[in-house]
């Protein structure tokens, strides 16, 4: 008897060894999935790291931490290694169903089982998730939940879970009930956690988040709703509701409220099916299913951060809507997550085939305070919707025409201004103050001319140059010369104050030139260079959709807006000082004298406004949320034509320049007549006859 028990123990030991051996050979769709069998795994610290200098085209990889399969990829950026991809995973089909392996459930009681009852064959390998679920938990899919929730949300594990959900939605989509939907959503909720958002960006397949959304919609479409109203899922990062509807149903609304950033205050959203849409349904009951994702917008942003299809971050819930085919329109209400953004909202739908946000399927019907209402067209390709937010330019054909025509006239006017200054230079720069005044005008014209040219190059070629170093060059020089324009206008304002306060004191011309060029070009170069140095390594210098200073990520645009608006404010004070110091009427002056003084003040203000850039002050109105397009048009009119105004008020209306230009033209005419008379003189005629 003892020998028989020893034989059974030996056979059990052999069986356990064979089971362990077979587990190490299980595959998931062709991928080797060796896994440590014990408990929750920790990624730990990176054992090795790509070190040393690197070249811009270099790549490096290293193995994952212990108990994880895969590798971590690095790319060289700014001569430093930066993490680019990660495939570290601890999950496999084997780990999902290890607790349900019958061989692991053998106990010491097996010693009393007769030999002929024991089956010494190894368990049949499970080659797919569907096979394992059908064998172990076909009713509610609950057998995979604990293993998934105990895993770390590494990039590799996220990709595995997305593939797991995709396989379930395609292979196990029959007879989907409430329990299966809850289990499916509980697995999905694990990888939608806020702590996992950043790891989505390192998944090599950048379409993973789109695949996840499509799998969720596909699985939810197969859900059977039995009651009139059901709250199907109420997870932290997924909420789902379902209703039975028909052509007699009144206007149907789905209300959601979910917490963001672990705060008690919830972000609300609402989906509404209009009554006129419900009339399209047949008399027999249909169903409507809606899902709300509070973090999916941030995940889509992370994955498509460098993609032009998503130039702006999502600032609301992401709604998925599953409706009967006859329904084509849905109304949505979003509450802004980030309420501090001074930007208009744009309603969009996620196009599953294009894998990008489509602005053509939705229309923003209203935007009041922090709530945005959208009207969207529902199709099989567009089932998910949200709002995009960021400071952005307004797409308006009137503004485009004004900008194009204004810049053309401005460039021509500035070239003409420089030609006139060169023509009359020697006649108008007779004193130090007049010399510096015209130096300022010339440099203001040059800076604005170059800035306008860079603006045109930027608008024509930014789509081609956006992904190259040329975009950095375009942004840098546009930033530099627009700043130079403002600092030269600031220096001109300082000269005006200097002339008013120090009437009998004169500064050396060389000293004034040094100060002028230090302010006019030195300060802009420092600001522009510092902005590049700080933001380029973080990939936050340019906007994703244009070669101009970034706003969403690094607020690099403030490096232009703050100096410009401060200078405009200072120059406005200077204009007020000039207006106050204009000669006042004496006691008993006549109305004609008063009128003359008013005209003189108006003329001074008109001349100084374009030269000191006061029209840029209207830019403040364009930054305010909900500003009327009228302010944008006024801003474009005043600033696109700034070159023309400089020519008109700074050059043509200056009587000294007009007098010098008139004298120059008269002298040229005099020389022409003298030459003509000399050619017709008798002496010259005899010389011609002798030849």
pLDDT, tens only, 426-457: 888 888 888 888 999 999 999 999 999 988 88
Instruction: Return the structure tokens found at 305.
Output: 């951060």
Greatest mean pLDDT range, 33-37, 146-150, 253-257, 324-328 = 146-150
Q: What is the DSSP letter of 201?
A: T
Q: Are 291 and 184 in contact (CB under 8 A)?
A: no
Task: Give residue 168's pLDDT.
Answer: 92
Q: What is the DSSP letter of 339?
A: T
Range scoring the smallest mean pLDDT among 12-16, 268-272, 464-468: 12-16
Task: Give residue 545's pLDDT.
Answer: 61
- Of residues 174 and 393, the one with the higher pLDDT is 174
Sequence-separated (6 or more) residues with CB below 8 Å from residue 547: 458, 462, 465, 466, 470, 471, 474, 475, 478
* CA–CA gap between residue 451 and residue 459 (Å, rounded): 12
* CA–CA gap between residue 523 and residue 303 (Å, rounded): 38
Helix, strand, or coil (residue 78): coil
Task: Give residue 404's pLDDT.
Answer: 85
- pLDDT mean over 503-520: 84
- Of residues 401 and 605, the one with the higher pLDDT is 401
Q: What pTM did the predictor assign?
A: 0.52
pLDDT of 252 higher than 80: no
List helix spans (H) across 243-323: 275-278, 296-303
Range scoring the smallest mean pLDDT among 231-245, 457-471, 646-660: 457-471
Task: Give residue 1's pLDDT.
Answer: 40
Q: Are 65 and 71 in contact (CB under 8 A)?
A: no
Bridge partners of 245, per DSSP, are 286
- pLDDT mean over 229-238: 85
| Percent of the chain residues past pLDDT 90, beyond the cut | 24
* 279 pLDDT tier (thresholds 50, 70, 90): confident
CA nearest neighbour of 96 among 155, 174, 215, 183: 183
Question: How many residues in the chain?
Answer: 691
Instruction: Return the structure tokens found at 647.
Output: 């020519």
Count other Cβ atoms within 10 Å, centred on residue 344. 18
Instruction: Return the structure tokens found at 536.
Output: 């380029």
DSSP for 497-551, please give it.
HHHHH-TT----HHHHHHHHHIIIIIHHHHHHHHHHHHHTTTT-SEETTEEEE--
636-668 pLDDT, tens digit per residue, is 888 888 899 899 888 888 888 988 888 888 887
Task: Give residue 310's pLDDT.
Answer: 44
pLDDT of 25 higher than 70: no
Instruction: Return the structure tokens found at 193.
Output: 């956690």
Task: Give residue 203's pLDDT.
Answer: 93
pLDDT of 601 higher than 90: no
- pLDDT mean over 149-162: 94
């Amino acid at each position: 008897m003892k020998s028989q028990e020893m034989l059974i123990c030996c056979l059990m030991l052999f069986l356990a060894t064979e089971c362990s051996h077979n587990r190490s050979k299980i595959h998931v769709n062709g991928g080797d999935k060796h896994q440590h069998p014990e408990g929750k795994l920790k990624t730990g610290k990176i054992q090795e790291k790509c070190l040393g200098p690197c070249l811009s085209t270099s790549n490096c990889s290293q193995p994952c931490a212990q108990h994880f399969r895969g590798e971590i990829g690095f790319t060289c950026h700014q001569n430093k290694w930066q993490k680019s991809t990660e495939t570290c995973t601890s999950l496999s089909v084997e780990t999902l169903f290890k607790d349900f392996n019958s061989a692991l459930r053998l106990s010491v009681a097996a010693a009393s089982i007769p030999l002929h009852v024991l089956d010494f064959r190894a368990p049949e390998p499970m080659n797919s998730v569907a096979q394992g679920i059908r064998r172990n938990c076909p009713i509610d899919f609950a057998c995979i939940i604990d293993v998934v929730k105990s895993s770390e949300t590494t990039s590799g594990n996220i990709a595995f879970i997305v593939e797991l959900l995709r396989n379930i939605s395609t292979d196990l989509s029959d007879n989907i009930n409430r329990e299966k939907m809850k289990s499916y959503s509980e697995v999905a909720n694990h990888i939608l956690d806020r702590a996992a958002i950043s790891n989505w960006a390192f998944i090599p397949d950048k379409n993973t988040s789109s695949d996840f959304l499509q799998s969720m919609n596909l699985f939810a479409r197969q859900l059977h709703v039995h009651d009139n109203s059901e709250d199907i899922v109420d997870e932290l990062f997924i909420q789902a509701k379902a209703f039975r509807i028909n052509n007699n149903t009144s206007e149907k609304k789905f209300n959601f409220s979910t917490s963001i950033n672990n705060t008690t205050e919830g972000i609300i959203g609402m989906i509404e099916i209009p009554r006129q849409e419900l009339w399209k349904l047949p008399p027999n009951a249909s169903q409507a299913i809606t899902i709300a994702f509070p973090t999916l917008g941030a995940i889509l942003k992370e994955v498509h951060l460098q993609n032009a299809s998503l130039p702006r971050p999502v600032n609301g819930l992401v709604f998925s809507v599953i409706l009967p085919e006859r329904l084509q329109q849905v109304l949505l209400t979003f509450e802004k997550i980030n309420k501090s953004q001074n930007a208009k909202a744009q309603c969009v739908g996620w196009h599953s085939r294009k894998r990008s946000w489509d602005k053509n399927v939705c229309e923003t019907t209203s935007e009041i305070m922090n709530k945005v209402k959208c009207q969207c067209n529902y199709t099989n390709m567009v089932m998910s919707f949200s709002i995009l937010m960021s400071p952005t330019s307004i797409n308006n054909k009137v503004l485009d025409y004004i900008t194009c025509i204004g810049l053309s006239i401005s460039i021509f006017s500035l070239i003409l201004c420089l030609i006139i200054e060169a023509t009359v230079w020697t006649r108008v720069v007779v004193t130090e103050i007049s010399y510096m005044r015209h130096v300022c005008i010339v440099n203001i014209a040059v800076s604005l001319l170059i800035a306008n040219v860079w603006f045109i190059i930027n608008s024509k070629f930014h789509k081609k140059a956006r992904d190259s170093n040329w975009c950095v060059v375009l942004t840098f020089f546009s930033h530099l010369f627009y700043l130079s324009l403002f600092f030269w206008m600031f220096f001109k304002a300082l000269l005006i104050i200097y002339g008013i306060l120090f009437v009998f004191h004169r500064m050396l011309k060389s000293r004034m030139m040094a100060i002028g060029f230090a302010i006019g070009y030195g300060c802009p170069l420092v600001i522009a260079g510092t902005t590049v140095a700080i933001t380029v390594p973080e990939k936050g210098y340019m906007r994703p959709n244009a070669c101009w200073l970034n706003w969403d990520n690094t607020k690099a645009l403030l490096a232009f807006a703050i100096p410009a608006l401060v200078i405009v404010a200072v120059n406005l004070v200077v204009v007020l000082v000039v207006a106050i110091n204009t000669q006042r009427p004496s006691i008993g002056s006549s109305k004609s004298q008063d009128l003359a003084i008013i005209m003189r003040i108006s003329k001074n203000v008109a001349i100084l406004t374009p030269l000191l850039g006061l029209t840029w002050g209207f830019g403040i109105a364009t930054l305010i949320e909900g500003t009327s397009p009228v302010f944008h048009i006024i801003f474009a009119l005043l600033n696109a034509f700034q070159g023309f105004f400089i020519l008109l008020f700074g050059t043509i209306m200056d009587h000294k320049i007009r007098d010098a230009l008139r004298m120059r033209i008269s002298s040229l005419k005099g020389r022409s007549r003298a030459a003509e008379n000399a050619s017709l003189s008798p002496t010259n005629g005899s010389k011609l006859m002798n030849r």
